[in-house]
Structure 1
């Protein structure tokens, strides 16, 4: 629970007005929202906690969660990511409550080989019990039209599978710094193959030939960090490309305010994994920052080419450099597209609106409408 990379889960839950969220999970990985109620298998001590976590991870047995939840009634369980939903399903059945699942990306796109070679018991269980989830889960939400198409292709029922944007609260997004100062491209991503960071670095090298005062800031960590830093060294980009590591969400937003462009050149990974939508695109857009991304996954549902930013083909270093350069070199285009992006977020992705929709979904599930 509470990973730095998953603030959208708590943001959505905290925006609810007719339901009180209680967070449950196997392990705490970050700080809970102030005043939030949360229950974790970490609450036990030492070997007892590890025992509960291991039993649940290997068997999906929900007994430890049932004990944690015995003090108060539960009306509905909302699992984020299909992988977690196969663990939530036995708990929902024990409690006799509906299960809503949100698919975000990798859980809809990673192929069978990718799941089998992951080394994760949770991913093995997901592959084994995904059909059961499709049959017995009450409702399935997808963060983009693209992800819904992929979920349907996995065999989930069309009549119970819908698109619901997670949304962001524009009122909590800090304002963008004035355009015209230092030129900075920002990339916020876990450093894995899917995020296309390698191609961004190569494009940035080409961009510097025409705009040497630009810099690239990479926020995130992951298994490819050493490889990407070696690439930066080999291209003699030290001092121009800065790796900031994983940062708290509030710090990420602060760094974004100084961005000229937000770049997310995602690609399809060898495992099949693809981008569901990219919440950082919405956050940057809400600040009025133009976007550059790929024709990939759910990204085109945020980036309207030539209006809110630019779309390029996957792995196209030449076009990636071309459009990044256009946005950092031309302040007029930059501001215009940034404002378009801000309006787009307010019209389609505002958290208050999306949360009302979610609560209507919850109520319909409880009434057995869906």
Structure 2
């Protein structure tokens, strides 16, 4: 069967924090799909992961702000004004604006106009990553081009979008996939009519994250020369709960030998550095900044514990199933995290890791102390976590599901 060319709409590309998207794109290419990547904004990360260099798809950038490229927007508008599809799509925009009268909503329609007017030759399908702004652009573009579209929903996009917006997109898309059971349950509840929602864990490229065969250190925090290394990887943003993690570290007994390493950047990084200093943790904390994937892998293999204090923010934002937890578990690293969103779908308490309530420095400190003092427990949990990941989170299973979904639709129209 001949493969169809797919336009994939992304919020930004490439992004260090979205390796799960990059590995999916590479997997689809290797499965034989012809992809065109369209991003709503240009990259802001100074580094790239190796997977980005392996993806062959060309990348096109839409105007991030319409006033930055007015001629490009006007050319697209004049090209579509005479077409009946423009007025149908404009009707959708008008209906959306009645409920969400914002400049952002109008901007998404303008970006969709540019995408439609500059359409890649022979492309016959649109796919959006994230069900908030990228899906808005994709939906309008599908109406302008009279082409089908589909969507991958993840975390923040599901939980910070209004019910009416999600329901409208679910009914418009041919199908939607999401990567956690909690996200699936929310979308399924809003799906009506012919809406098709599927659960598909995006998983991990297990060849890139091969088994770590070396024996881990048996330090128990009793000797300063053998400090136990606690690692966390993630953007310094509110939903990651790094303030809670720092408070938990400050509660650990003073005679316990440990070090904390953080990998990532983010808007709260300077505040967190100041907080660590205020808590008296400066000499035990190392801020590594953003690192490429192969460097992150090396840190997983050198650490003793992985910690992530995920939380739900006031506006509903939250992680789905953080890919860094899956990566850490694949390297036999004992993990402690919170019982938020999709995390319990990976970590079973006292079986594949430790779970604590969200926003509880005391509970997190107790779990960390338990792991620091007990290298045998760390080894047991790490071994079980790796088996769970390698048995249930191979990203090729997700690629197979996506391939079947695309081909099922195409068979129906052939």
What range describes the TM-score normalised by the shorter chain of this pair?
A: 0.7 to 0.9
Which residue in the other structure is 1:122 paired with? none
Distance in 1 between the 2:393 and 2:117 partners?
37
Distance in 2 between the 1:235 and 1:136 partners?
51
* Contact 1:142 1:163 survives alignment (8 Å): yes
Please state if 1:78 is matched with 2:127: yes
What secondary structure sits across from 2:347 in the alignment?
A: coil
* Contact 1:168 1:349 survives alignment (8 Å): yes
| Correspondent of 1:195 among 228, 234, 240 | 240
Which residue in the other structure is 2:183 paired with? 147
Say if 1:210 and 1:170 are closer, same or farther in 2 by CA, change over 3 A.
farther
Q: How does 1:342-357 map to 2 (within 5 A)?
A: 342-357=386-401
Say if 1:15 and 1:185 are closer, same or farther in 2 by CA, change over 3 A.
same
The TM-score normalised by the length of structure 2 is: 0.77
Offset at 1:66?
A: 3.2
Which residue in the other structure is 2:23 paired with? 11
Say if 1:225 and 1:243 are closer, same or farther in 2 by CA, change over 3 A.
same
Q: 250-259 or 135-144: which moved more?
A: 250-259
What secondary structure sits across from 2:58 in the alignment?
A: strand
Offset at 1:131?
A: 4.1
Distance in 2 between the 1:252 and 1:158 partners?
42
Which residue in the other structure is 1:172 paired with? 208
Which residue in the other structure is 2:40 paired with? 26
* Contact 2:171 2:191 survives alignment (8 Å): no
* Contact 1:312 1:319 survives alignment (8 Å): yes
Q: How does 1:1-370 map to 2 (within 5 A)?
A: 1-16=13-28, 17-29=31-43, 31=48, 32-34=52-54, 36-41=56-61, 49=69, 52=72, 58-61=107-110, 62-71=112-121, 73-83=122-132, 84-110=134-160, 129-154=165-190, 160-176=196-212, 178-180=215-217, 182-212=227-257, 214-368=258-412
Structure 1 segments, 4+ long, off by >6 Å, are: 53-57
Residues 242-290 of structure 1, C-alpha deviation per residue, up to 9 Å, x if partnerless? 2222222332222222121111111110111122111111111111112
Q: 7-16 or 294-303: which moved more?
A: 7-16
Offset at 1:50?
A: 7.2
Say if 1:203 and 1:10 are closer, same or farther in 2 by CA, change over 3 A.
same
Considering Cα pairs closer than 8 Å and 6+ residues apart, tell me whether 1 or 2 has the greater RCO. 1
Offset at 1:76?
A: 2.7
Distance in 2 between the 1:78 and 1:315 partners?
36
**What root-mean-square deviation, in Å, do the aligned CA atoms of Structure 1 and Structure 2 show?**
2.8
* Higher Cα radius of gyration: 2
Distance in 1 between the 2:63 and 2:159 partners?
33
* Contact 1:261 1:327 survives alignment (8 Å): yes
Offset at 1:79?
A: 1.0
Distance in 1 between the 2:374 and 2:37 partners?
45
* Contact 1:199 1:317 survives alignment (8 Å): yes
Q: What runs of 5+ residues in structure 1 fail to find an aligned partner?
A: 113-126
Q: What runs of 5+ residues in structure 2 fail to find an aligned partner?
A: 1-12, 78-104, 220-226
* Contact 2:108 2:136 survives alignment (8 Å): no
* Contact 2:39 2:61 survives alignment (8 Å): yes
* Contact 1:22 1:36 survives alignment (8 Å): no
Distance in 1 between the 2:305 and 2:235 partners?
18
Which residue in the other structure is 2:90 paired with? none
